Structure 1
């Protein structure tokens, strides 16, 4: 379990997936001032090499939890589009990762998105979901905040 309040950012770092797998780090951000949200996806292999990344702004006034779920949805879609079939989805949104892992207890506001993610993940050879600390998800976090300034999706 990640305790953000007790761990310094240097204490938890991104770790690569096992060989042959790809880590899909996702993050969402809300921009209340302009009534929209942004998502970011960073996909890396076992050597930490960038396989793909995406920044996207949605003209939807979603809440934080919903933006996090949309980020995972976009991450799974990008991994599939890149032809990656063995993935670890990693997010710092505990409710989203728990919803994907347990599939029985999830907030109603993200139920349909989570169900869609799970349906898509069934097409992969293998997949796993990890909750991570923000400090080990920093690349996706920084990029999600920058999505506010996008006019189009950057891949």
Structure 2
């Protein structure tokens, strides 16, 4: 409750500049969040979305893989429990490895491997093997990619990777692997 007789001042008391006073955010400081939408791969390609989840209380992780064609149809999906603990980055790298092997086993030869870990996707796509904890997994993944006629990696935010994320979380409910 404001007491009678109290005066309030804004700005420097003689001029109020609504858009330039520092105590009010200006339009340039507003952050807008544009949702990331999943997009299908180009004609003739397949997109393999991958994700990993960590279940600390069980000492396990989950892997989720969803493979799509250029018509946005699911060609295959996988949810797998790994009965050992990994960190989040390791789980995402392991998901990428399982995703690329699953794509090969489905007979696909032009793939885009997409995940929501920029570190993992960059390590696979570049000469830099990434952090030491995922270097062996990245090396294993890179041993698979020459088998494909064409391949790319793609980073997406979690919103663009929802299907693989849900499959990774679903792994908590299964004993080994569901395809």
TM-score grouping bracket, smaller chain normalisation = over 0.9
- Structure 1 runs of 4+ aligned residues shifted over 4 Å read none
Give structure 2 stretches of 5+ with no counterpart.
1-30
2:112 is paired with a residue of what secondary structure? strand
Q: 2:51 aligns with which of 27, 32, 36?
A: 27
Equivalence map 1:59-138=2 (5 Å): 59-138=83-162
Matching residue of 2:27: none
Task: Report the RMSD for the aligned CA atoms in angstroms.
Answer: 1.2
Question: Paired residues, what number?
Answer: 149
> Over residues 107-142 of structure 1, what are the superposed CA-to-partner deviations in whole Å (9 max), with x where a residue is unaligned?
111101100101101100000000101101001111
CA separation in 1, counterparts of 2:97 and 2:127? 15
CA separation in 1, counterparts of 2:127 and 2:150? 17
2:178 is paired with a residue of what secondary structure? coil
CA separation in 1, counterparts of 2:132 and 2:101? 22
Give structure 1 stretches of 5+ with no counterpart.
none
In the superposition, relative to structure 1, how do residues 79 and 36 fare at CA in structure 2: closer, same or farther (>3 Å)?
same
* TM-score, with structure 1 as normaliser: 0.93
- Ranked by relative contact order (alpha carbons within 8 Å, sequence separation 6 or more), the top structure is 1
Query: 2:74 matched to 1:50?
Result: yes
CA contact (8 A) 2:82 2:176 kept: no
Q: 2:33 aligns with which of 1, 4, 7?
A: 7
CA separation in 1, counterparts of 2:155 and 2:33? 15
CA separation in 2, counterparts of 1:25 and 1:89? 6
1:46 is paired with a residue of what secondary structure? coil
CA separation in 1, counterparts of 2:32 and 2:170? 27
In the superposition, relative to structure 1, how do residues 73 and 127 fare at CA in structure 2: closer, same or farther (>3 Å)?
same
**Larger helix share, 1 or 2:** 1
CA separation in 2, counterparts of 1:129 and 1:103? 13
Matching residue of 2:12: none
Radius of gyration: which is bigger?
A: 2
